[in-house]
Chains A and B, each alone.
Chain A
Amino acid sequence: DQQVKQNSPSLSVQEGRISILNCDYTNSMFDYFLWYKKYPAEGPTFLISISSIKDKNEDGRFTVFLNKSAKHLSLHIVPSQPGDSAVYFCAAKASNAGGTSYGKLTFGQGTILTVHP
């Protein structure tokens, strides 16, 4: 049961253009979302997060949009740079039955982004 889905295995964009990476989820209890970037032979590194009380969060070239009704989030990178070429994972966390936020992050399958010079 894949609760977090990244349906595009890969994305190719030109340097300077916008990259849009998409993520869908099925668990309505998810209330905190994160994006990670991963280079080969390295661990994932955190990019940006968003709480379910917001619909947008920006950090420099990175913006995450959350559409709760559609259970969809997206990561926008503007402008894209060749150094952004990596695998991007979205992840989600749910409040647990005890009402706390403790618990695992559920990750999607990842999208390979290639930014061409």
Chain B
Amino acid sequence: GAGVSQSPSNKVTEKGKDVELRCDPISGHTALYWYRQSLGQGLEFLIYFQGNSAPDKSGLPSDRFSAERTGGSVSTLTIQRTQQEDSAVYLCASSLTGGYEKLFFGSGTQLSVL
């Protein structure tokens, strides 16, 4: 596709449920990033995938969060047993190599945990 695609664009869930958020990066981009933006806050780094290297998971806030990237392309961010504080916009980005270059962001998934 022409850009980074994220789905769903909006997700409302009940506390305690699991959710999966999907990201389709730009074709050929080897680096993929997940960030989240809580209301009134900046962009918080979650996880970074670079080619076949082990992902940098240093930003995941708890073990309820996990992510995978299959076949070096599509990525899924999973949040288990969601809590109200997980409510945020989850943004995915990709870049060609992960080096000194700009990131291209998707439009995000607005997650609301009731």
A residues bordering B, Cβ < 8 Å?
6, 32, 34, 36, 41-46, 49, 51, 89, 91, 93, 100-110
Contact = CB atoms under 8 A, between A and B. Distances in A.
Interface of B: 4, 31, 33, 35, 41-45, 48, 50, 53, 56, 59, 91, 93, 97-100, 102-108
Contact of A46 (B4, B50, B99, B103): B103
Contacts of B56: 103-104
A100 B98 CA distance: 10
A43 B43 contact: no
| Most chain A CB atoms below 10 A, which of B45, B50, B102 | B102
B1 to A, nearest CB: 14
Contacts of A34: 102
Contact of A43 (B53, B59, B108): B108
A33 to B, nearest CB: 10
B99 A100 contact: yes
Contacts, number: 59
A70 B35 CA distance: 28
Contacts of B41: 109
A18 B99 CA distance: 32
Contact of B91 (A44, A46, A49, A108): A44
B98 A103 contact: yes
B102 A110 contact: no
B45 A105 contact: yes
Given A43-B93, A107-B35, 20 more contacts: A6-B42, A34-B102, A41-B107, A42-B108, A44-B43, A45-B105, A46-B102, A46-B103, A46-B104, A89-B43, A101-B98, A101-B100, A102-B53, A102-B97, A103-B56, A103-B98, A104-B56, A104-B59, A107-B42, A110-B43
8 contacts: A36-B105, A43-B105, A46-B103, A49-B102, A103-B56, A104-B59, A105-B45, A110-B42
